[in-house]
Amino acid sequence: MNDGRTVLLLSRAGAAGLPEDVRRRIEDTVRLVVHPVPGRLGAAEAAGLLAEVDVLASTNLALPVLDEALLQAAPRLAHVVLYATGYEHIDVGLLDRRGITLTTLPDYATTAVAEHALALIMALAARVSLANDRSRGLAPAGVSLRGFEVAGRTLGIVGTGRIGRHLARIARGIGMTVIGTDIDPLARVRAAAEGIQMVVPAHLVAQADVVAICASTIQGTFPILDAAAIAALKPGAVVVSVGRPVLVDTPAMLAALRGHVVRGYAVDDVIAGPDFEDPAVDLIAEGRLLQTGHSAWWRDEVLDRGGRMFADAILAAACGHPVNVVHADNHHAEGRWVG
């Protein structure tokens, strides 16, 4: 029976994003208020909605800015449940100080994102996007489709958390040698236990034929690949990133591509095009810069799994037993990545 607590759900899909059986369990436990929104909720509207809410459950798209002013307008708020893995845009320290827990979904898209990283590697190696453009008469005349085999190549994984370790498993399955680096001591121990040779960052960038950025975005630690690290890459290396664009110095990377220091760069975001200072039309046309617009997680299985994990996390928070709680000191940055 409803015990008087209130959960506010903010998302574009509304209640449709929750499995029906878990949604009913939530409704049997607390008052569930569903507020579908097309984008980020404004401060004034958020303050009105949160005035008598105990649990805020939201997607990143809908999440209002959780600043001091908004939290003061939400005196009952005890838990925030985020339908996402990354939370670098949230002031976790502020939530900690106010006694508000933050729950994320750390493992709902691990397989999909690791597979996407491998797909980016294969796309650069096989020149897939360029071959597709050429078959449609869109590739510049004289641009070569010549690629390379990944079997026998060394893959350097920067960030050996869940995604990085899964990428290592599947990359070894196609014959790649895997090395890794991480600033998190626990991540290093777990990766080594799974047979990943852990090295210092400088060794990784110098030795890897392929560098995969799978790291989280931790304040004070990016860019991971700055201009100096990019200059230190093995000649002809390719780089793929399923992390945030800030993890790589984009201007330095574009310069390295044009200077043929780096053979190719693929990123699961958008970093070039008509709306950017450097549209990089030349590199896109040559198939040496690939962009996949933050689509790595967009898979059938992820949507099914994520909806159920989100609903379960909401129910746990509503019952006063939040899961996968993160704090400001969860990811202590020990030293620097590269440099």
Tell me the pLDDT tens digit for each residue of 12-70.
989 888 888 888 989 998 999 999 999 898 999 999 999 999 999 999 999 999 999 99
Nearest to 40 by CA among 13, 60, 69: 60
Whether 322 is covered by a domain: the verdict is yes
pLDDT in tens, 196-249: 999 999 999 999 999 999 998 875 667 999 999 999 999 999 999 999 999 999
Whether residues 239 and 131 share a domain: the answer is yes
Average pLDDT score, the chain: 93
- pLDDT above 70 as % of the chain: 95
Residue 339 confidence class, pLDDT cut points 50, 70, 90: very low
pLDDT at residue 152 greater than cutoff 70? yes
Q: Based on the structure, what is the number of domains in the chain?
A: 2
Is 154 in the same domain as 258? yes
Q: What is the pLDDT of residues 200-215, one digit of tens each?
A: 999 999 999 999 999 9
Q: What is the CA radius of gyration of the chain?
A: 22
> Are 83 and 147 in the same domain?
no
242 plus 307 within the same structural domain: no
Is residue 279 one of the residues assigned to a domain? yes
What is the rounded CA–CA span in Å between residue 153 and residue 174? 10
Query: 3-state DSSP call for residue 48?
Result: helix
Residue 107 pLDDT exceeds 80: yes
Confidence (pLDDT) at 333: 47
Residue 110: phi and psi, rounded to 5, are -55, -50
Distance CA 93, CA 159 (A): 23
- Which bin fits 152, alpha (ψ -120 to 50), beta or left (φ > 0)? left
Predicted confidence at residue 332, as pLDDT, reads: 47
The Cα 230–Cα 224 span in angstroms is 10
pLDDT, mean of residues 117-132: 96
89 lies in the same domain as 172 = no
Task: Provide the pairing of β-strand 325-326 with 101-103.
Answer: antiparallel
Phi and psi (nearest 5°) for 85?
A: -95, -45
User: Which two three-digit tokens encode residue 17?
Assistant: 């994003």
135 CB-near residues (< 8 Å, 6+ apart)? none
Q: Could you give the dihedral angle defined by the CA atoms of residues 264, 270, 272 and 274, in that order, rounded to the nearest 10 degrees?
A: 140
Give tens-digit pLDDT for 160-195: 999 999 999 999 999 999 999 999 999 999 999 999
271 has pLDDT over 90: yes
129 and 264 share one domain: yes
pTM score: 0.91
Look at residue 141 in the predicted model and tell me its pLDDT: 81
- 159 & 196 share domain: yes
Element (H, E) at 221: none
d(CA 200, CA 65): 37
Q: Is 315 found in the same domain as 280?
A: no
pLDDT of residue 4: 80
CATH of the domain at 58: 3.40.50.720
Shared domain for 200 and 275, answered yes or no, is: yes
Residues 88 and 142 in one domain: no
Residues 6+ apart with CB under 8 A from 166: 110, 111, 114
339 domain residue, yes or no: no
130 by DSSP, 3-state: which?
A: helix
Residue 160 belongs to some domain of the structure: yes
Confidence (pLDDT) at 217: 86
336 falls within a domain:
no
Find the domain containing 245 and state its range. 110-291
Q: Are 102 and 133 in a shared domain? A: no
127 pLDDT band (50/70/90 cuts)? very high
Predicted pLDDT of residue 3: 67
**Strand partners of residue 11:** 36
- Judge contact between 265 and 129, C-beta under 8 A: no
Helices (H), 177-299: 185-193, 201-207, 227-231, 250-258, 281-285
Q: Report the C-alpha gap between 83 and 7 in whole angstroms.
A: 14
Give the model's pLDDT for residue 54. Answer: 97
Q: State whether 164 and 45 are in the same domain.
A: no
